[in-house]
A and B are shown apart, each in its own frame.
Chain A
Amino acid sequence: MEFQAFLIKYGEIGIKGKNRYLFEDALMRQIRFALKDIDGAFRVHKSSGRVYVECESDYDYDETVAGLKRVFGIVGICPVVHVPDEGFEKLKETVVSYMDSMYPDKNTTFKVEARRGKKSYPKNSMEINCEVGEAVLEAFPEIRVDVHKPEIMLHIEVRDEIYIYSEIIPGPGGMPVGTNGKAMLLLSGGIDSPVAGYMIAKRGVGLEATYFHAPPYTSERAKQKVIDLAKLVSKYSGPITLNIVNFTDIQLYIYDQCPHDELTIIMRRYMMKIAEHFAKESGCLGLITGESIGQVASQTMQSLAATNDVCTLPVYRPVIGFDKQEIVEIAEKIDTYETSILPFEDCCTIFVAKHPVTKPNINIIKRSEENLAEKIDELFDAAVRSVERITVNP
């Protein structure tokens, strides 16, 4: 079956009152972005409160659908056949052949759902429903009508042209990116943080990211892996500005000055501070981490409180209540898992103590940090200055 267009269904954004056009425009922008590199010419437009993707040349169906399935805000994607209006008799023929090729197995139920946008059309929607339904029944004796729970909901929309569709491919849901400001993702090379970024982007939030590397303790490949992960997430979120910060000196200084079992927690506090610095600089409205309660020593309730303590921006932790397996499932779905499990050391693990504190007392941590007073500001500034900033596109 050749489809000439896609009707885009969007749920939540339909109910946003006077802001609705903002959401629709953002949705169209994101759709255009998602289709940019796909073979084929597409026109995305809005008409009578619906968003359509018109395919104006030969195009790759599977790739196009895959692209649309990555656009947040889309609830359903309906492949549409549209034909010029050549009279009602011709329309009935077209619908019969559409049904024939879409549903080789006729042992099923259907219902016609017509919508007459063009009020000058000689038949009203009820008449279209009845007469087209009758034509289909005549053509295929096996098929039955079920007006309550049809297996096939056959939509016919009469506009300047006539649109026929009956399939709905589920979209990712959520809201179009760009409708909810942006936030700074602390991106490591692990499984959780790309998923966290994805989940927040799904709610319409644009992403920036910060990655801490610690050469020579972490390798060039570990950094490339994080860039690759950002690239995968950007397929959903759109372009991501990635801040790559050299964290080695701060880490070694903490190592020298603080109790070893507190190293990770103190280190994470400084990571949050640096990420927040960049977040504020670029107008982000929050931080995002991939933390999940109790997953590791630095993610116990006490540890989370200790790291949270240094931030003034809200910290969003979308996978906070997820088990590892649940996070892995999303990572697999969004295709970041394979990259995440490449075995390169990241800077959180290089000096990790055999028994790090799991219930840090914030006052004790603060007292330990006093040992850093002499050089930490200078090192902080140096780390901030060391930033390498790259824009990652899908």
Chain B
Amino acid sequence: MADNVEAIQKSIKWYFIIGALLILFSGLTVGLSYVELPTHSLNIIVGMILATIKAALVALIFMHLSHERPLIYKVLAFTVVFVLALFLLFVFSHGDPLEFEGMYLHNE
């Protein structure tokens, strides 16, 4: 852990650099959201990638996850798995529930 005096003094510079980077990425997200990509889904994907990078910076540097004890990683591993499961739940609602294999209820 960066708990000794020198390590903390060194990391102070980084806190400001990361802060500036985060603001830069936010500006970039705003700018790119006005660019009309071929589909809007691409806009969403680009925006979410940028947001994930920002979130990673906050978690790794500000929240010191870049050098944390194994126990915390174990706790968070569960969280990541379950939260991803939550995000993917919508897949089950995406298909037409009235449409079964070999049987189409609508005319084609």
User: Are A and B part of the same complex?
Assistant: no
A residues near B (Cβ < 8 Å) are: none
